[in-house]
Amino acid sequence: MNHQFHPTSLREYDIRGIVGDTLTEADAWAIGRGFGTVIARAGGRTVAVGYDGRLSSPPLEAALVRGLNESGVDAVRVGLGPTPMLYFSVYELGCDGGVMITGSHNPPDYNGFKMMLKDRPFFGADIRALGEAAAAGDWEAGSGSSRAHRIFERYVARLVEDFRGGAFRVGWDCGNGAAGPAVQALVAMLPGEHHVLFAEIDGAFPNHHPDPTEEKNLADLKRLVAEKGLDFGIAFDGDGDRIGAIDGEGRVVWGDQLLGILAEPVLRELPGATIIADVKASKALYDRVAELGGRPLMWKTGHSLIKAKMKEEDCPLAGEMSGHIFFKHRWYGFDDALYAAVRLIEAVHGLGGSLTALKSAMPAIVNTPEMRFPCSETRKFAVVDEVLARLRADGADVNDTDGARVTTVDGWWLLRASNTQDVLVARAEAADEAALARLTAAIDAQLALSGVERVIAGH
């Protein structure tokens, strides 16, 4: 017996699709067979399984477990919760791997699978090989067991086990995502005054979409912070592995700005340590890390790629513009927005007690949101190669870590191919609006030379 996945569902970092269309329960079963085979052939036996609050998650979880068991692998079902709780369970329970059923911040009709092998991410070539094995029916056969294990209380307790912060008045927006109950339990253990929005898990996301990188999704949190005069606010995505934040004035503290704040106490303890950020992060962040005595390292966008690079570099802290924050310092090296929130409270406490003051002290810069340009799967990487060739021929200052990041007297701009969608992604940053306009004009000019038109823009 073999299985064919929809060609769009096998992504670089995970497996994802539209439920009932490009992703089905048969796919979930085949993922279980394939991932279970990988575990069994590596000499492993147990896989932790968790799922988020989407309406489609329980049946997909059941099908996945069935597939794991039929590959001779035991499933430890940790149940409903945020993705980082699943990651934690792999470490805490000594499992050989983990699978999280989650659609993350995608629309309600999407779902997907994030996987890990012990302490390393399962992505890229791993996922491609999973698809090839399914097409060939190259699976182990056996009879594994299935048992439930409630890890929720241990996970929440571990979040605050070595908390070193102070008392603040904080707003929390869970967006009806999988982090809600864990956030409620967490704030009950923290000092200060806490106000929690939308903690009830609801896969229809009735209040707003759970993506804190979209400023429009922070409107309820901004209102809460303003009405109650809170110190700051924290928001989460649908599966709790990405964080968003606003200061006491309602200004967004973006992912790279959060990383700059979180890096300071880490570098006090570990002088000279490497701090990794993705290519979309501000030059101000890299400058700040260097100023603090750290070694800034620019790397490719993608949570799996960042985790793999952290392991290679023995890096204590990394982050992405998208709000994935990865602590190896006093934590496990995976992206956990709840733990990042705890560490943010600590950092603000240790750096003067005001997130608003920290935000105000940051360099004045202007930048674009992520700009997206539709471009086919077969064309998007070729366009980036064409742009790089032209830039090099012109003698431009270009970094090709992940696409083309070009530094000019005006600032910098980035063009890269998305690993998860049929789009090119661009971003630019400058000291003022006139300089920013020149940078975005340069992006448009390069795209036009490769036959790509600006059709849509924004997050």
Residue positions annotated with a catalytic role: 104
Q: Rounded to the nearest 5 degrees, what angle is found at the Cα of 232, between the Cα atoms of 262 and 332?
A: 35
Q: Rounded to the nearest 5 degrees, what angle is found at the Cα of 459, between the Cα atoms of 58 and 431?
A: 145
> Measuring CA to CA, how many Å separate 326 from each of 1, 55, 121, 259?
40, 28, 13, 10
How far is it, in rounded angstroms, from Cα 114 to Cα 108? 17
How far is it, in rounded angstroms, from Cα 228 to Cα 170? 10
Residue with tokens 């700009």: 371
Tokens of 356: 């608003």
DSSP label at 85?
A: H
- Beta bridge partner(s), residue 17: 111
CB 274 within 8 A of CB 311: no
How far is it, in rounded angstroms, from Cα 441 to Cα 458? 16
CB 236 within 8 A of CB 205: no
How far is it, in rounded angstroms, from Cα 121 to Cα 334? 9
- Of 191, 158, 131, the residue nearest 10 (C-alpha): 131
- Beta bridge partner(s), residue 426: 371, 415
- Beta bridge partner(s), residue 15: 10, 113
